[in-house]
Amino acid sequence: MDKILVTGGLGFIGSHTVVELQNEGYEVVIIDDLSNSSEKVLDGIVAITGKKPVFEKLDLKEKDKVEAFFAKHSDVKGVIHFAASKAVGESVNEPLKYYENNIGTLVYILKELRKLPSAGFIFSSSCTVYGQADELPITENAPVKQAESPYGNTKQIGEEIIKDTCKVSPNLKAIALRYFNPVGAHESVEIGELPIGVPQNLVPFITQTAIGLRDELSVFGEDYPTPDGTCIRDYIHVVDLAKAHVIALKRLLEGKNKSSYETFNLGTGTGSSVLEVIKSFEKVSGKKLNYKVVGRREGDIISAYADTDKANNELGWKTGLSLDDAMRSAWKWECKVRGK
Ligand code: WQD
């Protein structure tokens, strides 16, 4: 079967996607610089699939190393590109780190793909490109708004770079997948989310609070114009998200894409508030969560959830796992990681 490169393949979404690629029989090569992951994740992947992907520790900012990689792996047929910095807050303080790491590396990879006979490119994008959308649910035609952070800007710029490159590269076609909020872990709990330091995202903060690593969860505001006053997001199980990547890649490899550059929203289509996520966690874990409502977090949008029609109809993909499934697996994973 075709050889697929997964950059950032030892990360949270990357590792779950490697598992689904291997389940479909693809030969997987992982590049990861281990800046936000660990080589131990490979053991988790092998424990699930019994197959060890080729792993090359490589910093994609090193152009000559990227060239050497593709010279060695000129039989790569597709690339799923996860490798990027993704902390919204950090990006505000260190914009150049984000522009160099998220944009510079993308350019180097696209330059190499243009040299191959043909290649399919899947780009890890984000619903963050929409900002606070004027209409909900959010379709792929919703206007891309002024980015709220350099991180969000790198996703917007990245999409433009890919679109422009595909226009002049007959051998290259691409799909940008705009994720909503990825959560949960593989049911085997051999892989999951491993945030380094204090988690920025809601679900790992919930599970770390419940396991005793954090004293209490701060709920950032309950005075929003939503039914219970807390922000609404579309929490998608990471395994559903991973499966969508394999389907999107197949669409390109089988030439079923309708244009050289396409975008798809990946969400459940259902919005959940912060308090609803907490309630789901308490239900599936049987634990009472210690939380306190505090002030709003700078830059938070009120509500975002996906219109899933295009992904359902064009990709033939829809989510199969629920918020409860995601919270249950996230909690099982947290317990395993902390040896509880
Ligand atoms: C979700 C909700 C918070 C933490 C970000 C990025 C997005 C994507 C996913 C990469 C919000 C509330 C959170 C906490 C809280 N990342 N919250 N207490 O901000 O929707 O999206 O991560 O692609 O690009 O922007 O996710 O999990 O940080 O927050 O109350 O300790 O939970 O206010 O309403 P977000 P999040």
Instruction: For the chain, 340 residues long, give each residue's pLDDT as a single digit of tens.
Output: 899 999 999 999 999 999 999 999 999 999 999 999 999 999 999 999 999 999 999 999 999 999 999 999 999 999 999 999 999 889 999 999 999 999 999 999 999 999 999 999 999 999 999 999 999 999 999 999 999 899 999 999 999 999 999 999 999 999 999 999 999 999 999 999 998 899 999 999 999 999 999 999 999 999 999 999 999 999 999 999 999 999 999 999 999 999 999 999 999 999 999 999 999 999 999 999 999 999 999 889 999 999 999 999 999 999 999 999 999 999 999 999 999 9
* Short-list 179, 251, 252, 196, CA closest to 16: 179
What residue owns the CA closest to ligand 1's atom 4?
202
State the pLDDT at residue 196. Answer: 87
Q: Which residue has the tokens 């076609």?
A: 173
- How many CB atoms within 10 Å of residue 276? 18
Which domains are present in the chain? 3-183+236-266 (3.40.50.720), 202-233+269-335 (3.90.25.10)
Nearby residues of 98 by Cβ (< 8 Å), 6 or more positions away: 85, 90, 91, 150, 151, 154
Instruction: Please say if 151 is a catalytic residue.
Output: yes
What residue owns the CA closest to ligand 1's atom 28?
201
Sign of CA dihedral 203, 206, 212, 216: positive
- Active-site option among 26, 108, 151, 305: 151
Ligand 1 — pocket residues by CB below 6 A?
A: 86, 88, 126, 128, 179, 181, 200-202, 205, 217-220, 231, 233, 274, 297, 300
What residue owns the CA closest to ligand 1's atom 36?
201
181 CA to centre of ligand 1 in angstroms? 8
Report the alpha-carbon distance of residue 132 to residue 301 in Å, rounded: 5
| Strand order through the sheet with 172-179 | 54-57, 27-32, 3-7, 76-81, 119-126, 172-179, 261-266
301 CA to centre of ligand 1 in angstroms? 9
CB 89 within 8 Å of CB 13:
no
Long-range contact set of residues 212-218: C-beta below 8 Å, sequence gap at least 24 = 213/338, 215/290, 216/290, 216/291, 216/292, 217/278, 217/289, 217/290, 217/291, 217/292, 218/291, 218/292, 218/293, 218/294
235 CA to centre of ligand 1 in angstroms? 10
State the pLDDT at residue 71. Answer: 97
State the pLDDT at residue 148. Answer: 86
Report the alpha-carbon distance of residue 27 to residue 21 in Å, rounded: 8
* Short-list 114, 115, 211, CA closest to 161: 114
